Structure 1
Amino acid sequence: MEYIDIFTRDGQYTGVTRPKHDPKKRGEYYRHVLVIMKTTDSPAPGEGEGLYIVQQRSLKARFYPGMWDMTGGAVMAGELQEAAAIREVKEELDITILPEELKLGFERIVDWDDGTGLLLSVFSTIKV
């Protein structure tokens, strides 16, 4: 079973860890990562369109089955965002990313209608 840490909206760890798929309570947030991967043969920024690696979500996925998406997922309990990004890319695409190859693009708070949300970290890298 996978476990996640629960945070407040402002990123403070609450001291609560629970199974990943347990319902969240109002005011609870968890960390999530996305990795945008550009191919090595893409033009430099500003010199044309790039080629990106995307994946099709499993038809068995709980959310958005069969849809195209960037690689990512929940940050597990005790895990750093960078480590989660590296792990997710390896698990989902069998591509190895070294920590120095990752660049943090931006962070964003995502609020859901039920009063819960996620603390999103978006990374970029150039691979393949």
Structure 2
Amino acid sequence: MEKWDLFDENRQPLNKVHYRGEEIAKGHYHVVVGIWTINSQNEILLTLRHPDKDFYPDCWENTGGCVRAGEASLQGAKRELFEETGIDVTEEEFILFKTERTEDTFSDTYIVRVDRSIEELVMQEGETVAAKWVTLEELDQMVDRGEVGLPIAEKFLALRDELKNYLEKTSIY
């Protein structure tokens, strides 16, 4: 069973672990990561959730997940990206884009720049079944059509303008 480290509201370790699936006590938090993988064409990598997933099956999403007990946020981001896509990059290649506290999580959003063809990616058994590169505008349309899992769509909409500004600033054209 997956274990997560718990933190207080100031992100100080409580030296306690939490088991996935159990209710998190009020005032306790765990760390989740989201990774927006962007190629040199400023396209965003999305993966399609497995049809047997309990939540949001057959929906598109960016890479992400919970940081396991004993891992730092960046280690969790690196692990999740590799597990879900087969993309292996160094921790130094990740850019911490945003951190926010929600009801029971600290959510760290990372950006990583990677050029890989879809054919090079390795989907995680039981998690991801397909992948594609999309433009920001295509992602907007997918969100409007309800093709992106609701929690991911909400996070995307909350940071969309910042992401657009980032893409414009870092464009190679």
Distance 1:8 1:61 in 2: 30
1:12–1:62 CA distance, 2 compared to 1 (3 A): farther
Distance 2:28 2:71 in 1: 18
Aligned partner of 2:24 in structure 1 is 24
> Which runs of structure 2 are paired with 1:30-69 in the superposition (5 Å)?
30-40=30-40, 42=41, 50-69=42-61
Q: TM-score, normalised by structure 1?
A: 0.83
1:9–1:65 CA distance, 2 compared to 1 (3 A): farther
Distance 1:9 1:59 in 2: 35
Q: Which has the higher helix share?
A: 2
* Bigger relative CO (Cα 8 Å, ≥ 6 apart): 1
Aligned partner of 1:118 in structure 2 is 105
Gaps spanning 5+ residues in structure 1: where? Answer: 43-49, 112-116
Aligned partner of 1:9 in structure 2 is 9
Q: Match of 1:12, as an amino acid?
A: Q
Q: Once the two structures are aligned, what percentage of the paired residues are identical?
A: 25
Deviations 1:4-37 (A, max 9, x none): 0111222121121122222212222110001111
| Cα contact 2:18–2:24 (8 A) shared by 1 | no
Q: Which has the higher strand share?
A: 1
Distance 1:14 1:100 in 2: 27
Flag as ranges the 4+ runs of structure 1 deviating above 3 A: none
Q: TM-score, normalised by structure 2?
A: 0.62
Q: Match of 2:32, as an amino acid?
A: H
Deviations 1:30-60 (A, max 9, x none): 10001111112x1xxxxxxx21101112223
Distance 1:110 1:62 in 2: 22
Distance 2:86 2:75 in 1: 15
Gaps spanning 5+ residues in structure 2: where? Answer: 116-173
Aligned partner of 1:70 in structure 2 is 62
